Amino acid sequence: MKVLILGATGMVGQGVLRECLLDTGVSQVLTLGRMPPAVAHAKLTNLAHANLHDLAPIEDSLRGIDACFFCLGVSSLGMSEADYRRVTLDLTLAIAGTLARTSPQLCFVYVSGAGTDSSERGASMWARVKGRTENELMRLPFRAVWGFRPGAIQPLHGARSKTGWIHGFYVVLGPLLSGLRRLFPDRLLTTENIGRAMLVAARGGDVRQVAEAPAIHALSQERVDGR
């Protein structure tokens, strides 16, 4: 399986990348972004590209992909709806639109978040934008599309947020989160859960489905190649 990861330098993306590199059924991992991940591996290639809104110059590198794991995202804090829409809805659809032409056979897994608003009419700006992004992705001619909606996430195996205060939060509360995860494993997910669940989803059937935290956890418990 040939996999493409967006957002591989973020906390969730780091966890997803780790699981893909460990999976014996994944033959090639491409990461796409402005900066390469801080990992070297024989089956890892980074496609450095400054303008993610226009992938025309690298389209040939985006053919034959079996799964796209879209972990790219920003906080809406302090952003106008127009700006947030541009870096969330518009960017995601620009990338997905290119992939729909070059690799329509792939499974597209999009990380949105708990509380995403599929109606697109709620009071929360970020939830409306994420909801519309999910809805538009479901209309594209991919083999399968998943909207992953995790809530609380515990980073494992060295995955860390690029935002300093968020990383500090996880360092301080790590032991507490571990205890809560043992009590509520299907509510408090880990970066490992999410990566393993994506690989299971990519190998599944032709579906268009939204998965909340319990469903993501359930997917993560299914067998992953070689583990």
Q: What pLDDT score does 162 carry?
A: 67
Q: Residues of the chain with pLDDT > 70: what percent?
A: 91
Confidence of residue 183 (pLDDT cuts 50, 70, 90): confident
Q: Per-residue pLDDT for 170 more than 80?
A: no
Question: Reduced to 3 states, what is the DSSP secondary structure of residue 32?
Answer: strand
Average pLDDT of 165-194?
A: 74
Q: What pLDDT score does 169 carry?
A: 56
Q: Would you say residue 155 lies in a domain?
A: yes
Q: Would you say residue 174 lies in a domain?
A: yes
Q: What pLDDT score does 152 carry?
A: 85
Cβ atoms of 19 and 8 within 8 Å: the answer is: no
Q: Is the pTM of this model over 0.85?
A: yes
Q: Per-residue pLDDT for 144 more than 80?
A: yes
Q: Per-residue pLDDT for 137 more than 80?
A: yes
Query: Rounded to the nearest 5 degrees, what angle is found at the Cα of 109, between the Cα atoms of 106 and 114?
Result: 165
What is the spatial distance between Cα 88 and Cα 112, in angstroms, rounded to a whole number? 10
Average pLDDT of 196-220?
A: 96
Q: Per-residue pLDDT for 128 more than 70?
A: yes
Domain range for 122? 2-220
Q: How many domains does the chain have?
A: 1
Q: pLDDT averaged over the chain?
A: 91
Q: What is the DSSP string of 69-89?
A: EE------TT--HHHHHIIII
Element at 22 (helix H, strand E): helix 11-22
Q: How many CB atoms lie within 10 A of CB 30?
A: 19
Q: Would you say residue 52 lies in a domain?
A: yes
39-66: buried (b, 16+ CB within 10 Å) or exposed (e) per residue? beeeebebeeeeebeebeeeeebbeebb
Confidence of residue 187 (pLDDT cuts 50, 70, 90): confident
Cα of first residue to Cα of last residue in the chain, in angstroms, is 16
Q: Per-residue pLDDT for 124 more than 70?
A: yes
Q: Would you say residue 85 lies in a domain?
A: yes
Q: Per-residue pLDDT for 172 more than 60?
A: no
Q: Per-residue pLDDT for 185 more than 80?
A: no
Average pLDDT of 26-32?
A: 97
Q: Would you say residue 226 lies in a domain?
A: no
What is the spatial distance between Cα 82 and Cα 24, in angstroms, rounded to a whole number? 42
Q: Would you say residue 51 lies in a domain?
A: yes
Q: What pLDDT score does 35 carry?
A: 86
149-160: pLDDT as tens digits: 999 898 998 777
Of residues 8 and 176, more confidence is placed in: 8
Q: Would you say residue 227 lies in a domain?
A: no
Q: Would you say residue 130 lies in a domain?
A: yes
Structure tokens at 5: 């990861």
Assign residue 57 the CATH number of its domain.
3.40.50.720
